[in-house]
Amino acid sequence: MPLDILIKNVALSGVDGLRDLGIADGRFVAIEQGAATLRAALILDADGRMAVPGFVEPHIHLDKALISERAPVNVSGTLTEAIEILWEIKRNYTVEEIADRASRVLVRAIDNGISRLRTHVDVDPIGGTCPAEGLIRTRDGFAI
């Protein structure tokens, strides 16, 4: 089976000895000891380093992700002005905008090995349910 990447000499938690990891089409397809017969477009040597699961982002506010794209400069540099700026943005949120920003962050996270996210969402008198609706749309767009 031709592989895209073969990572040789990888230490795995709870496994004695080193293994070779074969990757094809973005997925692990082989975990073998001494996979010298496997061919790959790219061969890397982990030299005994440990493979770990994807990274985890335990706390993010996807409804506010990339909000700085819309935020004017905080001229005074105060927390009070920062809150006022955020509230003005929240008053004018759209479901589509929130879903777009959140989706772009998820794509970046996935591209960089983040495998789990725990997001929080503001549902309040300022933004109403719009942030939750935007994240529901985002979730539905990433459903497999």
Q: What is the pLDDT of residues 19-57, one digit of tens each?
A: 999 999 988 898 988 766 678 999 999 999 998 877 777
- Is residue 20 assigned to a domain? yes
- Is residue 109 assigned to a domain? yes
Q: How would you write the chain as a 3-class SS string? A: CEEEEEEEEEECCCCCCEEEEEEECCEEEEEECCCCCCEEEEEEECCCCECCCCEEEEEECCCCCCHHHCCCCCCCCCHHHHHHHHHHHHHCCCHHHHHHHHHHHHHHHHHCCEEEEEECCCCECCCECHHHHHHHHHHHHHCC
Shared-domain flag, residues 122 and 96: yes
- Is residue 112 assigned to a domain? yes
- Is residue 70 assigned to a domain? yes
Shared-domain flag, residues 40 and 90: no
Q: What is the pLDDT of residue 1?
A: 67
Shared-domain flag, residues 110 and 89: yes
Q: What is the pLDDT of residues 70-88, one digit of tens each?
A: 999 999 999 999 999 999 9
Query: In terms of residue numbers, what domain contains 15?
Result: 2-45
Shared-domain flag, residues 116 and 77: yes
Shared-domain flag, residues 88 and 113: yes
Would the pLDDT of 7 be above 90? Answer: yes
